[in-house]
Amino acid sequence: ETGVTQTPRHLVMGMTNKKSLKCEQHLGHNAMYWYKQSAKKPLELMFVYSLEERVENNSVPSRFSPECPNSSHLFLHLHTLQPEDSALYLCASSQETGNTYEQYFGPGTRLTVT
Amino acid sequence: AQSVAQPEDQVNVAEGNPLTVKCTYSVSGNPYLFWYVQYPNRGLQFLLKYITGDNLVKGSYGFEAEFNKSQTSFHLKKPSALVSDSALYFCAVRPSGSARQLTFGSGTQLTVLP
């Protein structure tokens, strides 16, 4: 799991706060992803970046704002969240060439919105 | 659109016995199939994949999976279960080609009893 790191590991925030989640991959990959994992639900893909360009946005509310300044770093900026946004947020990366395709995940940020 | 079904929320098996975690899929064209494992408070860890070739693929920690095209299945197996195999297991699929979106199943909680 050290290939993809996420900070913070835990975050508690009020609905009026602004915070950011950070992800860093040390694998030399060219694609990065944000997922939301809620209890008893399948993983929900939120955003995909390939070569630092956002290529997919799966109808995520605008209170979530991603940023990918380079191929190794990915942020998720949060503002005016709702209690139902409480979940585990997972970052992943992959190499979109060759014959690999598998995604490697970070440990996640456990977010609680109060 | 692709989909993945893991029909069992929970699988219990005695230590030393063989284990099977079931997965069926639906995808247009040839599938790329993956198994991931998640331990408590951790991210998803890649176990194995099927891209092409031999229908029986071997992965980490003694796990293997068999691709069955006619039954659209990709069941995860291990000949002898360990207590440390207890975790949440996810099957995932993506179509071959340039699409990046992995679709995950809802997960199966495996408990290996000592």
Mutation for B interface: A50, A105, A109, A112, most B CBs within 10 A: A105
**Residues ≥6 apart with Cβ < 8 Å to A110:** A9, A10, A11, A88, B41
- What's the whole-number mean pLDDT along residues B27-46? 90
Q: What is the CA radius of gyration of chain B?
A: 14
Q: At residue A84, what are phi and psi to the nearest 5 degrees?
A: -70, -5
Task: Write out pLDDT tens, residues B49-61.
Answer: 998 889 999 999 9
pLDDT < 50: residue spans in chain A: none
Tell me which chain A residues have a C-beta less than 8 angstroms from the C-beta of B100.
31, 33, 48, 50, 55-56, 94, 96
Beta bridge pairs of residue A88 = A37, A110
Beta bridge pairs of residue A109 = A89
End-to-end CA distance of chain A: 29
How does residue B97 score in pLDDT terms, banded at 50, 70 and 90?
A: low
